[in-house]
Amino acid sequence: MQSVPSQAIRPLSLSASLSSSRLPFFSFSLPIFHKFKINPSIYNKSQKVPLFLTLRCCSSGSVTAKPSSEDRRNRDVQEPDEKVVALRRLFSKPGIGIDAYIIPSQDAHQSEFIAECYMRRAYISGFTGSAGTAVVTKDKAALWTDGRYFLQAEKQLSSSWILMHAGSLGVPTTSEWLNDVLSPGGRVGIDPFLFSHDAAKELKEAISKKKLELVYLYDLNLVDDIWKESRPKPSNNPIRVHDMKYAGLDVASKLSSLRAELVGTGASAIVVSMLDEVAWLLNLRGSDVPHSPVMYAYLIVEVDGAKLFVDNSKVTKEVMDHLKNASVELRPYDSILSEIKRLAAQGAQLWLDASSVNAAIVETYKSALDKYRSNHGSKGKIKNKRYDESNGLSEDPSGVYMRSPISLAKALKNPAELEGMQNCHLRDAAALAQFWCWLEEEIHNNVELTEVDVADKLLEFRAKKEGFLDTSFDTISGSGANGAIIHYRAEIGSCSVVDPNKLILLDSGAQYIDGTTDITRTVHFGEPTAREKECFTRVLKGHIALDQAVFPENTPGFVLDAFARSSLWKIGLDYRHGTGHGVGAALNVHEGPQSISYRYGNTTPLQKGMIVSNEPGYYEDHAFGIRIENLLHVQEINTPNRYGGIEYLGFEKLTFFPIQVCY
């Protein structure tokens, strides 16, 4: 689509065709698990470690623990926070004895979206964004979040909290701040279930530089202790089987490929803790987490069996039969550590993805291995190390620490998954067409609508479509200045009325039984300003540049990120979020390992079958926001040349809804 900065952006044109050529499905055969061939000793940690725990201050010299200057205003007078005060009282209890406590966003599975009963950071701080870390000391409380949430956090945090703009120049990381505000010998407490092993290890090493001690509190989450009866109950909704016509591959085949990987690495079992990996591998879906069709569970796959750790009350007879057919046994959800100890006591070599498996599991395994070695006289230097290749047991097991192979296998969509994604996007586009026609008519009839009204109406149209299950995230409906809040959530009583003379940004998606959608459109129903027109045009240019990109195989996503930013960069503009994320097939709206981002640490190449978003934007604080997003399927491109004898790749659109016409 052409984009030129001329007189105005017309009201949305729905006359554009919603049809598109069918996706050319690629061939797909076993094995589905691609070997990473990574030496465990040089394993490059994945990007699941939270940004605010890993970013380093860009300035030279010592780090001063202070908020940004703009956050100092209106925060000089601190009011007591009852929840924080109650939390601090627990610091001195017997068996705890800490000087600071860290509350991350994650649950025990490092999920982005989590059940309400695990939203501990939101409860203690009042900040409801999906990404952030709270740290409470005996006399301070600080919260780190990234650029998507700066404006939201400013609104939601009370004066008791210091807002830290993670990644901004001069702003310390959590560990740097703790090193500055705590005295040597101080003790920092965490719930080890809520940190990946890599994140906990990095934190421990960072604070040890100032002689601070990291304390694992296995048996008590301090936030839960003060939340008490008001804490929401966990979901007990039934699990369902994901039909083969949507999954495309049966459980037995997936497990067989995974077990081949186990044998190849000398492991006897793999611990799977990421919820979408468990769901994908077993062809199951749940509804424990808002917007994500997953269930809270762990899975241990051994060379000769598998165990699913889940609340048995969620398991229907159909699911039970499904699991029996795949030789998967059921175990109570909270017995995972007992099973880890049992396996270690047998000398099992466990494959653990330390970037996603929580520290509680890894440390329990290591501790149990120490006992195993002691009982078998394997202390000191290892000699004659030998594996029993039939079961992966070792005279001196130490664990296999590598990235989970399930992540990549899940990202490479098979033909059935791609067909389901295409079909649900067609139905989704029809719902969007109905919605935008309705909204345009209401606006032109001077009907007063709030941002919540708009989001609710869109849900109403989507809910009528076949196979609709849920939204894939909270709809971002932002009029005018609220559009500049990247992950804004409109709420009754505090949201704005949609202004026909301002841009409205609508980022939304849906979970269908056969696929997952995610789309953003920015629309103006009146006459945009010259500034808005120029910014919109440059964002659209970037969107088109990425959409039409052709690149050699083995190209990581960060190489393409500049395509989407180039037009903005030419006039000194940018945006504070990645350009593209992976999307699951009837699974999480955000999935790895692929991404398109300025964060160049993710070297995962884009491959045929992957799905990514294309969503450049621009946000002018307190004025307006612009984002344009489609989902794309990576496919092979038939180029006239093949330099180096390799394949060249490009994108095919999955999103069928038009972008507002510019002229």
Judged against a pLDDT cut of 50, whether residue 441 lies above it is answered with yes
pLDDT value of residue 662: 63
428/418 Cα distance (integer angstroms): 15
Mean pLDDT computed over 292-316: 97
Q: Classify 239 as helix, strand or coil.
A: coil
pLDDT value of residue 663: 52
Angle between helices 359-375 and 197-208 (to 10 degrees): 80
CATH number for the domain spanning 581: value is 3.90.230.10
Give the structural domain span for 87. Answer: 82-230
Q: Is 661 inside any structural domain?
A: no
Are residue 96 and residue 205 in the same domain, yes or no?
yes
Question: 45 falls in which pLDDT band (50, 70, 90)?
Answer: very low
pLDDT value of residue 490: 85
Are residue 448 and residue 299 in the same domain, yes or no?
no
- Over residues 323-365, the pLDDT tens digits come to 999 999 999 999 999 999 999 999 999 999 999 999 999 999 9
Mean pLDDT computed over 197-226: 96
Judged against a pLDDT cut of 90, whether residue 116 lies above it is answered with yes
Query: Whole-model pTM?
Result: 0.85
Are residue 245 and residue 226 in the same domain, yes or no?
no
Q: Is 659 inside any structural domain?
A: no
Are residue 406 and residue 420 in the same domain, yes or no?
no
Q: Classify 522 as helix, strand or coil.
A: strand
Are residue 142 and residue 259 in the same domain, yes or no?
no
653/211 Cα distance (integer angstroms): 53
pLDDT value of residue 19: 34
What are the C-alpha distances in Å from 564 to residues 1, 602, 628?
15, 18, 11
Are residue 245 and residue 202 in the same domain, yes or no?
no
619/626 Cα distance (integer angstroms): 6
Are residue 104 and residue 201 in the same domain, yes or no?
yes
Mean pLDDT computed over 52-67: 38
Are residue 245 and residue 191 in the same domain, yes or no?
no
Q: Is 76 inside any structural domain?
A: no
What are the C-alpha distances in Å from 129 to residues 74, 173, 485?
21, 18, 11
Residue 394: half-sphere exposure toward Cβ, Cα within 13 Å:
24
SS (H, E, C) 422-484: HHHHHHHHHHHHHHHHHHHHHHHCCCCCEHHHHHHHHHHHHHCCCCEEEECCCCEEEEHHHHH
H or E stretch including 299?
strand 297-302
493/283 Cα distance (integer angstroms): 41
Q: Is 57 inside any structural domain?
A: no
Nearest to 281 by CA among 404, 198, 390, 365: 404
Mean pLDDT computed over 78-96: 89
Of 332-346, 391-405, 569-583, least confident by mean pLDDT is 391-405
Nearest to 20 by CA among 654, 659, 465: 654
Question: 599 falls in which pLDDT band (50, 70, 90)?
Answer: confident
What's the angle, vertex CA 419, arms to CA 414 and CA 422, rounded to 5?
Answer: 125
Question: 41 falls in which pLDDT band (50, 70, 90)?
Answer: very low
- Over residues 160-181, the pLDDT tens digits come to 999 999 988 899 999 999 999 9
**Residues 234 and 114: beta-carbon distance below 8 Å:** no
Are residue 605 and residue 635 in the same domain, yes or no?
yes
**Residues 285 and 297: beta-carbon distance below 8 Å:** no
The residues, any chain, with a CB within 8 Å of residue 213's CB and separated by 6 or more, are 185, 186, 187, 188, 207
pLDDT value of residue 72: 43
CATH number for the domain spanning 89: value is 3.40.350.10
Q: Is 71 inside any structural domain?
A: no
Mean pLDDT computed over 292-304: 97
The residues, any chain, with a CB within 8 Å of residue 369's CB and separated by 6 or more, are 344, 397, 398, 399
If one counts every other C-beta atom within 10 angstroms of the C-beta of residue 357, the result is 27
SS (H, E, C) 476-509: EEEEHHHHHCCCCCCCCCCCCECCCCCCEEEEEC
464/486 Cα distance (integer angstroms): 28
b/e map of 230-260 (b: 16 or more CB within 10 Å)? ebeeebeeebbbbeeebbbbebeebbebbbe
Nearest to 474 by CA among 453, 492, 459, 494: 459
Are residue 259 and residue 364 in the same domain, yes or no?
yes
**Residues 72 and 441: beta-carbon distance below 8 Å:** no
Judged against a pLDDT cut of 70, whether residue 159 lies above it is answered with yes
pLDDT value of residue 147: 81
pLDDT value of residue 661: 78
pLDDT value of residue 8: 31
Are residue 111 and residue 125 in the same domain, yes or no?
yes
What's the angle, vertex CA 359, arms to CA 354 and CA 362, rounded to 5?
Answer: 65
> Position of tokens 């006399």?
139
pLDDT value of residue 68: 44
Question: 559 exposed, middle or buried (CB, 10 Å; 0-12, 13-18, 19+)?
Answer: middle
The residues, any chain, with a CB within 8 Å of residue 138's CB and separated by 6 or more, are 88, 91, 99, 100
Q: Is 486 inside any structural domain?
A: yes
SS (H, E, C) 121-148: HHHHHCCCCCCCEEEEECCCEEEEECCC
pLDDT value of residue 34: 46
Question: 104 exposed, middle or buried (CB, 10 Å; 0-12, 13-18, 19+)?
Answer: buried
What's the angle, vertex CA 227, arms to CA 223 and CA 229, rounded to 5?
Answer: 150
Please state the domain count of the chain.
3
Query: What is the residue-averaged pLDDT of the chain?
Result: 87
Judged against a pLDDT cut of 90, whether residue 28 lies above it is answered with no
**Of all residues in the chain, what percent carry a pLDDT higher than 90?**
77
Are residue 641 and residue 574 in the same domain, yes or no?
yes
- Amino acid at site 374: S
**Residues 14 and 433: beta-carbon distance below 8 Å:** yes
